[in-house]
Each structure stands twice: as structure tokens, then as C-alpha cells.
């Protein structure tokens, strides 16, 4: 029957979109991890790679958008199918911007050259680990359609915010104590800011997951968690 | 001719369910139900084709009825102007009101109901007469004799309202059969509105038409809803999504009686339906 084969074609296209969003998610996770590793190891080559790979991220984002548009045009999906497609398009844009934050960290590392670090890195690697875990879980929530997990991920944004404020306070103390540290402090501040924005964007992903599953648009506030 | 008077008062507009989306988007205050089905069941002999449907039909809005084949959509539609009475064994329980008056009350003339609630069918069914006579027939049927000039004016006005005038103004004396399928269907719409109904029922009006003719009918429906209340039965879900303001989803019960499982803003039905069966149907997973 025609409707069956059309439905299975739509299912196949939806699966391709899901797979590609997942691929984009892992790529962004990898880019964020490599960018902070380049900073820790002062590895300029690795930082350059992060900046170069960003092109691949952009290509994948546009590929996903094209797939979504084609599926809408071919199948005129409705309800949950339509929501999944629209959510995936938004998520592809968010993920691409998150990769820009990783590339931004890569650029800072390149700009820093071999200048010694102002202070040992403690909180920034923690921020990166939390961001990557959040992203990983958000992708899991996307694939499983798990709103409770998406909510739990949103909650973790506070951890990253606290670490960021800690880094900020510490670096300001350095700059006040010795204004000659301003440039080196700004480099780190820039890195921390990119990570803080990455975590914010993970919460945006979670809102889109909520929309895909329930149709509800808007904030996915942690206090809504009733578990 | 008997005037429609209310013999049985049933809950009308005041108690009509206003879908959640409407309150936010258009304001519930501006809505009134032109027709209202209350606990409506339709039987053919011992077989119940439609079971316990309660549904408002909002004034000057387009309401689409969707659902799989055999779920009672057309039966429900035909009960809105007592067309189902033409089937000898058909019987109706519950109430249908038009402006608050029960259209099945014993003192109501079904012909008058059909004048106020017109119908357009699946296949264009012009009479084997000229274009002019097709329209004039509907006018004369309900108005009796009238001066030729007045009749002509009404023919022209009906053809204009049905967006057909420009295509037929030079061939009013030609047979309606010379028109294309899409033009014939618009002629039938013109014939229906020539009788000046308040509600127009459309039973899959585009299923025999090509995509261009379909779009013309859909555009026409948007024009017509300024003045008429429209109820459309369609198998084409994209059409329901494109043209209607409200959508009612019908399904067959295990005993094969059709029931209404969800009614809401069309936007809600096609983006976030509440019932899993509606979700499966609008996304092509049904069956």
C-alpha cells in the first residue's frame, strides 16, 4: 500500500536527521574537549586543528537543515514528526554555535602562543568536563525523547555558572593586584566565557527536546522538576 | 413554508466547547456556534453509523471533519441538513441546532433546513442545462418567480462569489457540461450559494479535481467564510490543515460506530494533538 511505503520513507528520513544531529553533537563534544586540551597542553597544532574542523561542523549543520527542508517538502509531516524536524533544525544551529565557542577557545590558544599561563588550570577543565557531560546527556535525551533527562541536564547549568563566577572573581583579583596580568587574564576569561555560553546553549537544546516530545515551547526550568 | 422554531432547546453556543487555542489566538468572545451537535447518533436500521457526537460548528469559520474511511464523516455531514433522511432506514438521536433551533423538531420543514444549510458534493453534479439555468434553478426553487433582470443579477452575483464569472461570462448559454471539472465544481458551489444558505457543507469537494482546481476551490472557501459557515469532510489531511480553522477527528469504534475523538484548533490538531490516535492518523501511521 502506498501509504505504508511513504510512511517508511518518512521514518527513514527522520532517522537520518536524528543520526546526523547525533553526529554533530559528538563532533561538538569532541571539539570542546580538544580545545581545552590544547589550552592545557599548550598545543598550538591541536588548537589549529580545532579551528579547521569547525568548517566540517558548519557543513554538517547545513546538511541537516537541507535534509529537514527536503523532508518537510516531500512528506508534509504533522504533529510529532513535524516537531522533531523543527526541533532538529534549531538544534543543528545551536550545536554549530557551540562549535564556534570551541573554535573561539582554539583561536585564544593560538593567540596566546607560548606565553606562560597566568595560573594553573583547575576550574576551566572542570567547566569543560561538565559542559561535555551535559551535551552528551542532552543528545541521549534527544534520541530517547526523554524530557526528564533533559530537565536534569538543564539543572547542571548552575554548576557551570558557579565555576564561571569563580574563575571570573579569581581573574579579576589577579588583574586588580597586578594590571600587567590583564592580557593573560583576559585570555582565560575568554575561554571560560566560551564554556559558560556552551552550557547555556545545551539548555537551549534541552528546550527543543521538550518541544519535540511534548509540543510545549519555552523555558525548561529546573524547578519544574517534580521527581 | 414552516419557519424554523425551537421546539427543543439544547445547549447552544454558550456551552459549546471552545478549544484552548482559540481563547489565545482569536478571543473566545467573538465565537458563536452557528450549529451545534449534541449527543448525536445516526442509525441506518439497526446499525449505528455515528455515536454520541457533541460538536460545535462555529459561525463563519471552516470546520474540517477528518478520519479514516467508514468512520461516519459523511453521515455526520449529511445529518447537518437532514440529507440522511433520504435513506429510508436512517434515524437520528440527539440534537442538532441551527441558531439554537432543533432542525429535527417535528414542525420543521426539511426543505427549509436544506435551504439554510446547502451542500456541495464530491463529484461535480451540474444539471444537463446551461450555465445560467444551473444557477437560476437554485434561485427559483426557493424564491419562486421573479423578474428576469433580478434573476440575472443574482446569477451573475453567485458566479462572481464562486470566482467563476470571469471564466464563464461569455458562455452563460452553453451547457454546463462543457466546463472543466474544477469549473463544474465551482458552478455547483455557485448554485449552492445562489440559494443564499447560511451554512455550506462540502463532502470531499476536491477529490475529483486536479491540484490547480483544488487550490482554486480552497481559495474560494477562504473568500466564502467571510459570509458563510463551512463544514468540510476531506480525506486530504494537508487540505484540512491548509483551509480549516477547526478540525474534528473521527474514528470507528470496535462496534463500527463512528465517534469523534478530538476537536480543536486545526493548528493544535496538526502540531500537537492530544489523542494518540489523532497523532497516528495525521502523521500517516494509521492502520
Chain B residues touching residue A77 (CB < 8 angstroms): 283
Please enumerate residues of B whose Cβ is less than 8 A from a Cβ of A.
237-238, 241, 270-273, 278-279, 282-285, 287
Q: Does the pLDDT of residue B25 top 70, yes or no?
A: no
The whole-angstrom separation of Cα A55 and Cα B256 is 58
pLDDT value at position B139?
A: 86
Tell if the CB–CB gap between B273 and A6 is shorter than 8 Å.
Answer: no
Point out the residue among A3, A10, A79 whose CB comes nearest to the CB of B282: A79
The rounded distance, in Å, linking the Cα atoms of A120 and A99 is 25
**CATH number of A70's domain:** 1.20.58.220
| Cα distances (Å, whole numbers) of residue A144 to A11, A47, A91, A118, A208 | 15, 33, 15, 43, 13
Question: pTM for this one?
Answer: 0.80
Query: ipTM, 2 decimals?
Result: 0.71
Q: Which helix (H) or strand (E) holds B191?
A: helix B181-194
E-strand ranges in chain B read: 33-44, 47-58, 62-66, 90-98, 101-102, 117-120, 199-203, 229-233, 246-252, 258-265
CATH of the domain at B176: 3.40.50.300
Hey, are the CB atoms on A7 and B284 less than 8 Å from each other?
A: yes
Average pLDDT, chain B: 87
* pLDDT value at residue B287: 52
pLDDT of B19 reads 59
Of A81, A214, A215, the CB nearest to B283: A81
Give the CB-side neighbour count of residue A200, counting CA atoms within 13 A.
Answer: 11
* pLDDT at residue B279 greater than cutoff 50: yes
Give the confidence band of B12 by pLDDT, cuts at 50, 70, 90: very low
CB contact under 8 A, A79 and B285: no
Say how many CB pairs under 8 Å bridge A and B.
33
Q: Find the mean pLDDT for residues B255-260.
A: 91
Chain B neighbors of A73, CB-CB under 8 A: none
Indicate whether A14 pLDDT > 80.
yes
pLDDT tens figures, B222-251: 989 999 999 999 998 889 999 999 999 999
Secondary structure of residue B94 in the 3-state scheme = strand
Confidence (pLDDT) at B210 = 85
Q: C-alpha cell of A127?
A: 567547566
Q: Per residue in A51-71, is it b (16+ CB within 10 Å) or e — as a string?
A: bebbeebeebbebbbebbeeb
Q: Are A10 and B279 a contacting pair at CB < 8 A?
A: no
Q: Domain tally for chain A?
A: 1
Q: How far is CA A189 from CA A40, A165, A170, B131, B282, in A?
A: 15, 10, 10, 79, 50
Contacts of B56 (CB under 8 A, 6+ apart): B13, B16, B17, B33, B35, B36, B37
Which cell is B10 given? Answer: 439544547
Contact B155, B162 (CB under 8 A): no
Q: What cell numbers appear for B210 in the block?
A: 486536479
Which H helix or E strand runs over A71?
helix A44-75
Burial class (CB in 10 A: 0-12, 13-18, 19+), B255: exposed
- pLDDT bin (cut points 50, 70, 90) of residue B27 is very low
The bridge status of strand B101-102 relative to strand B90-98 is antiparallel
pLDDT at residue B30 in the model: 66
Q: How far is B280 from chain A (nearest CA, A)?
A: 9
Domain that holds residue A48: 2-224
What is the mean predicted confidence (pLDDT) over A97-123? Answer: 95
Closest-CA distance, B158 to chain A, in angstroms, reads 35
Residues A24 and A19: their CA atoms lie apart, in Å, by 9
Residue B51 scores a pLDDT above 80: yes
Once rounded to an integer, what is the mean pLDDT over residues A2-17? 80
Tell me what the mean pLDDT of segment A102-130 comes to.
96
Could you tell me if residue B99 is inside a domain?
no
Mean of pLDDT values over A158-176? 97
pLDDT in tens, A120-134: 999 999 999 999 999
A86 touches chain B (CB under 8 A): no
Q: Least CA distance to A84: which residue of chain B?
A: B271
Predicted confidence (pLDDT) at residue A227 exceeds the cutoff of 90:
no
SS3 A82: helix
Residue A3 is predicted with a pLDDT of: 47
Residues A5 and A25: their CA atoms lie apart, in Å, by 30
Averaged pLDDT, B105-132: 93
Residue B21 has pLDDT above 80, yes or no: no
Binning pLDDT at 50, 70 and 90, where does residue B173 land? very high
Give which of A183, A190, A28, A176 is closest to A100, Cα–Cα.
A28
- What is the average per-residue pLDDT within A45-66? 97
How many domains does one find in chain B? Answer: 1
- pLDDT band of residue A218 (cuts 50, 70, 90) is confident
Residue of B nearest to A214 (CA): B272
- By CA distance, what is B285's nearest residue in A? A7
- Flag whether pLDDT at A57 surpasses 90: yes
Q: What is the residue range of B241's domain?
A: 60-80+109-282
Is B52's pLDDT higher than 80? yes
Amino acid at each position: 500500500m502506498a501509504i505504508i511505503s511513504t510512511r517508511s520513507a518518512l521514518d527513514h528520513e527522520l532517522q537520518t536527521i536524528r543520526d546526523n544531529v547525533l553526529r554533530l553533537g559528538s563532533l561538538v563534544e569532541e571539539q570542546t574537549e580538544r580545545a581545552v586540551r590544547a589550552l592545557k597542553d599548550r598545543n598550538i597544532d591541536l588548537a589549529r586543528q580545532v579551528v579547521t574542523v569547525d568548517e566540517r561542523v558548519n557543513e554538517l549543520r547545513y546538511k541537516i537543515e537541507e535534509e529537514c527542508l527536503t523532508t518537510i517538502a516531500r512528506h508534509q509531516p504533522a504533529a510529532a514528526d513535524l516537531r522533531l524536524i523543527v526541533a532538529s533544525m534549531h538544534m543543528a544551529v545551536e550545536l554549530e554555535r557551540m562549535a564556534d565557542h570551541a573554535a573561539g577557545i582554539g583561536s585564544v590558544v593560538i593567540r596566546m602562543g607560548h606565553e606562560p599561563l597566568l595560573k594553573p588550570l583547575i576550574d576551566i577543565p572542570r567547566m569543560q568536563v561538565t559542559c561535555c557531560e551535559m551535551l552528551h546527556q542532552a543528545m541521549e535525551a534527544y534520541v530517547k525523547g526523554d524530557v526528564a533527562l533533559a530537565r536534569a541536564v538543564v539543572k547542571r547549568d548552575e554548576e557551570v555558572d558557579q565555576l564561571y563566577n569563580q574563575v571570573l572573581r579569581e581573574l579579576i583579583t589577579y588583574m586588580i593586584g597586578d594590571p600587567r596580568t590583564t592580557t593573560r587574564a583576559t585570555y582565560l576569561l575568554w575561554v571560560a566565557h566560551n564554556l559558560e555560553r556552551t552550557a547555556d546553549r545545551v539548555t537551549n537544546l534541552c528546550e527543543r527536546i521538550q518541544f519535540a516530545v511534548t509540543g510545549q515551547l519555552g523555558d525548561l526550568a529546573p524547578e519544574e522538576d517534580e521527581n | 413554508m414552516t419557519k424554523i422554531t425551537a421546539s427543543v432547546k439544547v445547549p447552544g453556543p454558550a456551552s459549546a466547547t471552545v478549544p484552548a487555542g482559540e481563547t489565545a489566538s482569536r478571543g473566545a468572545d467573538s465565537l458563536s456556534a452557528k450549529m451545534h451537535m449534541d449527543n448525536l447518533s445516526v442509525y441506518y436500521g439497526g446499525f449505528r453509523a455515528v455515536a454520541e457526537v457533541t460538536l460545535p460548528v462555529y459561525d463563519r469559520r471552516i470546520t474540517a471533519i477528518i478520519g479514516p474511511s467508514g468512520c461516519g464523516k459523511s453521515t455526520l455531514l449529511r445529518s447537518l441538513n437532514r440529507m440522511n433522511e433520504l435513506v429510508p432506514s436512517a434515524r437520528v438521536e440527539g440534537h442538532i441546532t441551527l441558531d439554537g433551533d432543533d432542525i429535527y423538531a417535528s414542525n420543521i420543514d426539511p426543505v427549509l433546513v436544506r435551504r439554510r444549510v446547502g451542500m456541495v458534493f464530491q463529484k461535480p453534479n451540474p444539471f444537463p442545462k446551461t450555465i445560467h439555468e444551473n444557477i437560476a434553478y437554485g434561485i427559483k426553487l426557493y424564491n419562486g418567480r421573479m423578474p428576469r433582470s433580478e434573476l440575472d443579477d443574482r446569477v451573475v452575483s453567485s458566479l462572481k462569489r464562486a470566482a467563476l464569472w470571469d471564466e464563464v461570462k461569455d458562455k452563460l448559454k452553453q451547457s454546463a457540461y462543457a466546463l472543466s471539472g474544477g469549473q463544474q465544481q465551482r458552478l455547483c458551489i455557485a448554485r449552492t450559494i445562489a440559494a443564499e444558505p447560511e451554512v455550506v457543507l462540502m463532502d470531499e469537494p476536491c477529490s475529483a479535481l486536479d491540484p490547480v482546481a483544488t487550490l482554486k476551490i480552497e481559495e474560494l472557501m477562504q473568500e466564502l467564510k467571510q459570509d458563510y459557515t463551512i463544514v468540510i469532510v476531506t480525506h486530504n489531511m494537508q487540505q484540512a490543515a491548509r483551509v480549516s480553522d477547526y478540525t474534528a477527528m473521527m474514528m470507528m469504534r470496535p462496534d463500527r460506530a463512528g465517534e469523534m475523538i478530538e476537536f480543536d484548533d486545526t493548528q493544535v490538531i496538526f502540531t500537537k494533538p492530544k489523542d494518540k490516535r489523532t497523532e497516528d492518523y495525521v502523521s500517516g501511521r494509521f492502520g
